[in-house]
Amino acid sequence: MHKKPKIKKSTKCSILFMAAVLVLTVFSILKGESPQDVLREIRAADGRYLLLAVLSVLIYVMLQGVIIYLMCRALEMKESLRRCLLMAFHGYFFCNITPMQSGGPAIQILDMKREGIRMPIACMIIFNMTFLFKAVLFLVTVSLLFFGRGLIRTYMWSILPLVILGIVLTITFTILIGLLIFHTKFTKNAAIRLLHRAEKLHLVRHREGREEHWTGLLDQYKDAAGFFLTHKQLMSVLFLLTAVQRFSFFSSTYFVYRSFGLSEVSWLTICLLQASINIIADMLPIPGGAGVSEATFLAVFQKVFGRFTKSGLLLSRGITYYVQLIICGMMTVVAMVTFSLDRSRMGKFKKTNYDPEALGDE
C-alpha cells in the first residue's frame, strides 16, 4: 500500500515565506501609486499577448522535460515523456521556493532514483542539464559584455555593480559545473576527499567498504560523462533546445510589453534585458530571487515600458514566477502520487553504451 504523499514542513515554510514576500513586494511597488490606475492598466492589457506570455513559460518548463527525456533515451532508459515532464514541473516548483534554485536538481535526482535510475547516472543527467542551462546564460553574458555595452549604458547603468556580481557568479558557477562534468578525475578525487574529511570531523561514521562503494558509483558517473562527451551531435541538439528554452522564458516579458500596445523596442533587446535580470537574481541566495527581481526590473525596464513599468512588472513577474509556481505546484502533487519505485519498467545504463574506440572508428 502506497503512503499518502506529505508536504514537508520546510516546503510549507518556503511557501509561506514566498506569500509574505509577494504581499510586501506588491505593497512596495504600489507605494505612492494609485492602485486603481495600475489595475486599470492591467485590465486594459491585451489578453492575447498575456496568453502567449503564459504559453512561453509553459514551453520553458516543458522543454526541460523533453531534454531529460532525450538524455534518458540516449542512455537506453525506457522513461516515458510524460514522467520526464512531471520531473520538470516538480523540479521547477522547488527551484522557485529554494535559494539559488538549489532544490530543483536535488528533487529531480530523487525522482529519477524512484524511477530506478541509478544515482550516479541521475547526477550526471542533472549536472549535464544544469551545465547547458548555465552555458546558454554564460554565452548571453559574454555577448552583453562584448556586443551589448550600449544596452548596459542605456538600461543597466544604475545597477551596474549587481550586473557585474551576477556575471562573475554565473561564470564561476558555469566553470565549476563544467569541471564536474568534463574533469571526472577532479570530481572523483574531490568526492573521496570530502568523504575522508567528513569521517575525520565525525560527520559520518567510518565504515569498511564505503570508499570502495563510492569508487564504484563514481566509475558509473565517469561512464555516463564519457557517453555525453563523445556524443557531440546529441549535445548540440540539447544545447539548441536549452537555448530555445531560455529564450522562451525571456520572451514572456516581450509579450507583456506588447500587451500594452508598445512596439518600439525589439524582441531581442527585451530578451537580453530580461536575461540580465536572471543573471543577477539566479545566483543570489534568495528563493525565486524575490525582491531582487522586482527591483532590477524597475531599474532596467523603466525606459522600455515608460508609464506602464509597474503594471508591466506585476504582469511579467506574476506570469513568469507566480503563475509558474502555481502550475508547477499543482503538477508537483501529481508527481508525488505518480513517482514510485518500479525497476521492472526501467532500462538500465549499460557500460557498452560508452565505447570510445568504436566511436572513434565512426
What string of DSSP letters covers 279-311?
Answer: HHHTTSSSGGGTTHHHHHHHHHSHHHHGGGHHH
pLDDT at 70: 93
| Residue at grid coordinates 503538477 | 331
Indicate whether 223 belongs to any domain. yes
Q: Nearest 5°: phi and psi at 290?
A: -60, 135
- Structural domain span for residue 130: 11-346
Whether the pLDDT of residue 75 is over 60: the answer is yes
Number of domains in the chain: 1
What average pLDDT does the chain have? 79
pLDDT of residue 96: 81
Query: Residue 2: pLDDT band by 50, 70, 90 thresholds?
Result: very low
**Measured between alpha carbons, how far is 6 from 8 in angstroms, rounded to an integer?**
6
Model pLDDT, residue 77 = 81
The residue whose grid cell reads 537506453 is 76
User: Per the domain annotation, does 352 fall within a domain?
Assistant: no
C-alpha cell at 6: 506529505
The answer to whether position 34 is within a domain reads yes
Least confident of 132-136, 173-177, 337-341: 337-341
Helix, strand or coil, per DSSP, at residue 176: helix
What's the whole-number mean pLDDT along residues 255-261?
Answer: 96
Host H or E run for residue 321: none
- Start-to-end Cα distance in the chain: 50
Collect contacts of 296-303 with beta carbons under 8 A, ≥24 apart: 296/159, 296/162, 298/29, 299/156, 299/158, 299/159, 300/155, 300/156, 300/159, 300/273, 300/276, 301/155, 301/253, 301/273, 303/154, 303/155
Give residue 97's pLDDT: 80
Q: What is the pLDDT of residue 159?
A: 86
pLDDT: which is higher, 258 or 321:
258
158-183 mean pLDDT: 83
Distance CA 121, CA 220 (A): 7
Q: Lowest mean pLDDT: which of 39-48, 176-185, 204-213?
A: 204-213
- Is 94 a domain residue? yes
Residue 87: phi and psi, rounded to 5, are -60, -40
C-alpha cell recorded at residue 304 = 522600455
Q: Does residue 6 belong to any structural domain of this protein?
A: no
Q: Is residue 3 part of a domain?
A: no
Q: What would the grid cell of residue 173 be?
A: 558557477
> pLDDT, tens digit, for every residue of 288-325?
556 678 888 988 999 999 989 989 999 998 899 889 99
Over the range 248-279, which residues count as b (16 or more CB within 10 Å of their CB) and which as e?
A: bbbbbbbbbbbbbebeebeeebbbbbbbbbbb
Any domain includes 355? no
Is the pLDDT at 255 greater than 60? The verdict is yes
More confident residue, 357 or 209: 209
> Residue 99 has what DSSP assignment?
G
Residue 274, all three cell numbers: 530580461
Q: Which three cell numbers stand for residue 151?
A: 544596452
Range in 191-205, 226-240, 284-298 with the lowest mean pLDDT: 191-205
pTM, 2 dp: 0.80
Residue 200: CB atoms within 10 A of its CB come to: 10
Band of pLDDT at residue 268, cut at 50, 70 and 90: very high
CA distances, 31 to each of 24, 134, 290 (Å): 10, 35, 18
